Structure 1
Amino acid sequence: MEVWDGEIPYVTPFRRGGPATVSSRNLPFALVLAYLGVVVAVDLVTAANLRLDVFAALAPLTAAVLCTYRQTVFVGILDFCLMVAHHAVLTSDVAVNRVGSFVGNALMVGASIAVAWLRRDGDALLERVRATGEAAQRALLRPLPLRTGSVVVDGFYVSSQREALVGGDIYEVVDTPYGTRVLIGDVRGKGLGTLGAGAAVLTAFREAAYHRRDLESGVRAMEQGLYRYHRSAAYQATAGASADDVAQRASEEFVTALVFGTAEGPAAAPGADGEVPVEFVDCGHLAPFLIGSDGAVRELRTPDPGLPLGLGDLSPQPRIARRVALPADCRVLACTDGVTEARDPRGGFYPLAERLGTWAALPTPELLAELRADLDAHTGGRLQDDAAVLVMERAPGCDAAGAVSG
C-alpha cells in the first residue's frame, strides 16, 4: 500500500468579480408601448395630412418579435384603435381614407398577431424538444450529488455546446456489492458528437461495476464496450464511406478515464493510523487532487498512467490498479481537461491547484460554487471544452464499519 507523500504548492490570494446582468420579460413590452405613445403624440400635434400610422404599425410588428403573444395582441389592438380613431373617424371625411385606414391597420395588426402566434407555437415546440433532450441527457448523466453507503460525490458539469447539458465528459457513481465505484472520463472531442462513445463506456462501466470485483477487469470491460461501439453498424454508417475512413475515425476516438474503488463494511473502516484504503485505475487521465482537512492540496500522480480507453491494444502492459491509503477526513477532487486547459482572453491556463489551495477549508458545496464562478470569470463565460468536476468524500455519519449509522 502506498501512502501519499508530496509538496504543498504556494498559493496566492485573489479576487473574483464579474459584471451582473439583469433581464426582464417586460422591458421590451414597455419600450414598445413608449414608442407607440411617442408616435401617437407626434401624430396628434402634426397636420392631418401627415399620416404616421405606418410608423405606428412598427409597434405590433416589433412586439411580435420581442414580446409575448398576449403582449403583442394588446399592442396590436391598442395601435389599431388609436390609428383608426384618429385617421378614420376624427380627422377624415373621405370614405376612401376611412376604409383605407381601417383595412390597412387591420392587415398590419393581423399580420403581427399571426407572427406572434407562429412564434409562440415554435417556442412551445422548442421547449418540448429541449425537455425531451434534457430527460435523455439526464438519463445518461445523473444529477449531482450522488451518494452510496460510505461516499458522497458532488460536483458540476458544463457543456461547451450551447443548450446542451452533456457533451464529451462522463461520470458515474455506483454502489455495488464490492464497494463504491466512481468514474470520471473525457471523450476525445467535445459537444454532442461524442455522446455515442461516452454512452458506450458508461453502459459498460455500470454493468461491470456490479459483476466485476476488481477494477482492472471492469476497465477492460469498458474498453471492450468502446470497441463494440466502434464496430456497430450505426457508428460505421456515420463514420465514413469506406472501411478505411471508419478505422481512421475509430482510432482517433478514445476516452481518458479515472476509476476509483472503495471497499464496504469493515474493510472500508479507517485503520489505526486513521487512513482508509482506496484503489484507482488511471487510463491516461489528469491526476486527481487530495484536499486535506488542514487545507493542504496535493496532486496524486501515478508513476506510469495507462493508455486511454480505445488505445489499450497499443501496449502489451495491462492497466494496474494502484492502492493508496488516504486520510479518512480528506477529499479527492477529479476533473477533466476542460478545467485545467480553460484559457483566459490572454491565453493563460486556469490555475486549478492555486485556486484549490485558497478554497481548501470550505465545505464541498461552497468550494464547488467558488470554482464554478471563478472558472466562468477566468474564461469570460466561454469555455472551449466540456468541463466536469467531481469531489469525493466520506459520507457524514459513516461509522467505523463503513456503513451509514443511525
Structure 2
Amino acid sequence: MQPHFRRGGPATVSSRRLPFALVLAYLTVVVIIDLITPANLRLNVFAALAPLTAAMVCTFRQTVFIGVLDFCLMVAHHGILADAVPLNRVSSFVGNALMVTASIAVARLRRDAEALLERVRATGEAAQRALLRPLPLRTGGVVVDGFYVSSQREALIGGDIYEVVDTPYGTRVLIGDVRGKGLGTLGAGAAVLTAFREAAYHRRDLESGVEAMEQGLHRYHRSRAYQSSAHPDGVPGSSPESLVMRASEEFVTALVFGTEEGGPGAPGDDGKVPVVFVDCGHLAPFLIGPDGDVRELEAADPGLPLGLGDLAPARRTGRRLTLPAECRVLACTDGVTEARAPDGGFYPLAERLGAWAGLSTPELLERLRADLDAHTGGRLQDDAAVLVMERAVVGAG
C-alpha cells in the first residue's frame, strides 16, 4: 500500500520507443516530400525540427541517431548537389550542423538532469524510509497495516507520522499529524518519532511516554537547527517572542495506543485484547466490529496536542478498554476526513467504513485509497495517513 517512486530503466526506455518512431516517421515524410517537390522548395528547415523534437522526447542515443541521420540526408540532398548554388550548399551544411549540435547538447543536458534527479529521488527515498517504515508492521500480538499519501508531489512523506514498536511492555502504536503539510514539517515529525521510539522502550505507561514526546518536540523547537530554519537568510527575528510564537503554532496532534505484555493489557485466550490509548488532540479512532458495526472511540479525557501540553492544568490520561475478538481499530489523520471533493464536500469516512466493514483489512485499505482519490479527483489537499490495527494471527509469518 505504500507509494513508491517509479525509477528509470527498461520501462522508461520502452516508453520512449513510440516517440522515437514518430520522430523517425516525421523525418522520413519530410525527406520524401523534399525529394518529389521542385528543387527551389527547400524543406531542410522542417527536417531540422526532427532532432530538436527528439531532444525533448527521446533518449540521448535516439537523439544522436536522429540528428546524424537528418544531417546526412539534408546535406546529401541540398549541400553537395552539383547544380546547387555554393551559398546554398554552405548554408545547408552549417545550418544543419548547428541544429544537430544544439539538439544533441540539449539531449545531453536533459539526460544529466534526469540522472541527477534519479539520484536525488533515491537518496530522498532512503532517508524518508528511515523515518517512516513501510507498512504493514507486525509485533508479537498486533499487526498494523495502512497507507500514507503525501500531498507534495514526488514526496513519500510529509506532515503525518506513524510508528509501531514491539517493546518489553507490549506493543506501542503512534499516529500523528504535524500542523502544516509537506516536507517543511519533517523536523517536528522526526523529533516526535525519535522521542516515541525511545520512550516506548524505557517507559511502561503511555502517559509518561507522551510526556517524553512533548519534551522531544520542545527540544527541537529550542535547537539551533530550528532557529536557523526560522530565519533562513541569517537575519534574526524582531524579538525572541516571535520565535516562541512560531514554535507554539507548530504543534502535533497524536494518538498513542498500547497493549500490556503479561499484564492486564495482554491479549487473552478468548481473543479479546485490552488496550489503552492516549488522545493528544487527534481525531477519534474508529472501532470496526466483526458484525459490521462502526463507532468512534472517544477518549475519556481528550488532551491538547503535543507542544501545547503546558496549557493544560493536568497531565493527559489514557482510556482503557477491551477490544472484542476480531475487532479492528482504524485511526487516520485529518487529511482523510477533511479531503474535499471538487464541489467542496468532505470525505464521508464513517459512512464508507460502515459499507466496507466486512472486507478484509487489505481490501478495505485498497478500497479506501481508491475512493479517496476518486473523491478528491486525485488532488489531495493535505497529507493523509490511515492505520488499521488488529490482533495478529498466531503462527502467521
Q: TM-score, normalised by structure 2?
A: 0.91
- SS of residue paired to 2:295: strand
Q: Is the 8 A contact 1:184 1:257 kept in 2?
A: yes
Q: Deviations over 1:90-141 (max 9, x none)?
A: 5744444333322221221111111101110111011101111111111111
2:234 matched to which residue of 1? none
Q: How many residues align?
A: 377
Q: Which amino acid aligns with 1:269?
A: P
Worse-superposed segment, 247-256 or 105-114: 105-114
User: Does the alignment pair 1:327 with 2:324?
Assistant: yes
User: Does the alignment pair 1:360 with 2:357?
Assistant: yes
Q: Which amino acid aligns with 1:355?
A: R
Worse-superposed segment, 303-312 or 78-87: 78-87
2:73 matched to which residue of 1? 82
2:6 matched to which residue of 1? none
Q: Is the 8 A contact 1:222 1:309 kept in 2?
A: yes
Q: Is the 8 A contact 1:48 1:91 kept in 2?
A: no
Q: Which runs of 4+ in 1 moved over 6 A?
A: none
Please show how residues 187-202 of structure 1 align to structure 2 within 5 Å. Answer: 187-202=178-193
Among candidates 283, 286, 290, match of residue 286 of structure 1: 283
Residues of 2 paired with 1:405 and 1:155: CA distance? 18
- SS of residue paired to 1:170: strand
Q: Is the 8 A contact 1:92 1:98 kept in 2?
A: no
Residues of 2 paired with 1:294 and 1:26: CA distance? 53
1:392 matched to which residue of 2? 389
Q: Which amino acid aligns with 1:258?
A: L
- SS of residue paired to 2:99: helix
Among candidates 9, 29, 35, match of residue 20 of structure 2: 29
Please show how residues 7-406 of structure 1 align to structure 2 within 5 Å. Answer: 24-90=15-81, 92-240=83-231, 241=237, 242-265=239-262, 267=264, 268-270=266-268, 274-397=271-394, 404=395
Distance of aligned partners of 1:93 and 1:143 in 2 relative to their CA distance in 1, 3 Å threshold? same
Residue 265 of structure 1, CA deviation: 4.4
Task: Say what the alpha-carbon RMSD is for the aligned residues.
Answer: 1.8
Q: Which amino acid aligns with 2:108?
A: W
Q: Which amino acid aligns with 1:76?
A: G
- SS of residue paired to 2:42: coil
Residue 234 of structure 1, CA deviation: 1.3
Residue 157 of structure 1, CA deviation: 0.5
Q: Which amino acid aligns with 1:48?
A: A
Ranges in structure 1 where 5+ consecutive residues have no aligned partner: 1-22, 398-403
Residues of 2 paired with 1:158 and 1:43: CA distance? 53
Residues of 2 paired with 1:172 and 1:247: CA distance? 28
Q: Which amino acid aligns with 2:267?
A: A
Residues of 2 paired with 1:377 and 1:195: CA distance? 28
Q: Deviations over 1:128-172 (max 9, x none)?
A: 011111111111111111111111111110011111111000000
Q: TM-score, normalised by structure 1?
A: 0.89
Residues of 2 paired with 1:73 and 1:231: CA distance? 55
Q: Is the 8 A contact 1:158 1:387 kept in 2?
A: yes
Q: Is the 8 A contact 1:344 1:350 kept in 2?
A: yes
Distance of aligned partners of 1:91 and 1:157 in 2 relative to their CA distance in 1, 3 Å threshold? farther
Residues of 2 paired with 1:342 and 1:265: CA distance? 41
Residues of 2 paired with 1:343 and 1:396: CA distance? 37
Residues of 2 paired with 1:230 and 1:298: CA distance? 37
Distance of aligned partners of 1:305 and 1:37 in 2 relative to their CA distance in 1, 3 Å threshold? same
Residues of 1 paired with 2:17 and 2:64: CA distance? 15
Residue 31 of structure 1, CA deviation: 2.8
Residue 303 of structure 1, CA deviation: 4.1
Q: Is the 8 A contact 2:288 2:295 kept in 1?
A: yes
Residues of 2 paired with 1:70 and 1:334: CA distance? 50
In percent, how many aligned pairs have the same letter?
A: 81
- SS of residue paired to 1:391: strand
Residues of 2 paired with 1:92 and 1:377: CA distance? 65
1:6 matched to which residue of 2? none
Q: Is the 8 A contact 2:151 2:382 kept in 1?
A: yes
Residues of 1 paired with 2:180 and 2:310: CA distance? 21
Residues of 1 paired with 2:296 and 2:173: CA distance? 18
Residue 214 of structure 1, CA deviation: 0.3
Q: Is the 8 A contact 2:281 2:303 kept in 1?
A: yes
Residues of 1 paired with 2:302 and 2:253: CA distance? 10
Worse-superposed segment, 162-171 or 23-32: 23-32
Q: Is the 8 A contact 1:141 1:171 kept in 2?
A: yes
Residues of 2 paired with 1:91 and 1:150: CA distance? 87
Residue 25 of structure 1, CA deviation: 2.7
Distance of aligned partners of 1:368 and 1:91 in 2 relative to their CA distance in 1, 3 Å threshold? farther
Residues of 2 paired with 1:353 and 1:306: CA distance? 23
Q: Which amino acid aligns with 1:348?
A: G
Q: Deviations over 1:364-387 (max 9, x none)?
A: 111111111110010011100000
Q: Is the 8 A contact 2:301 2:316 kept in 1?
A: no
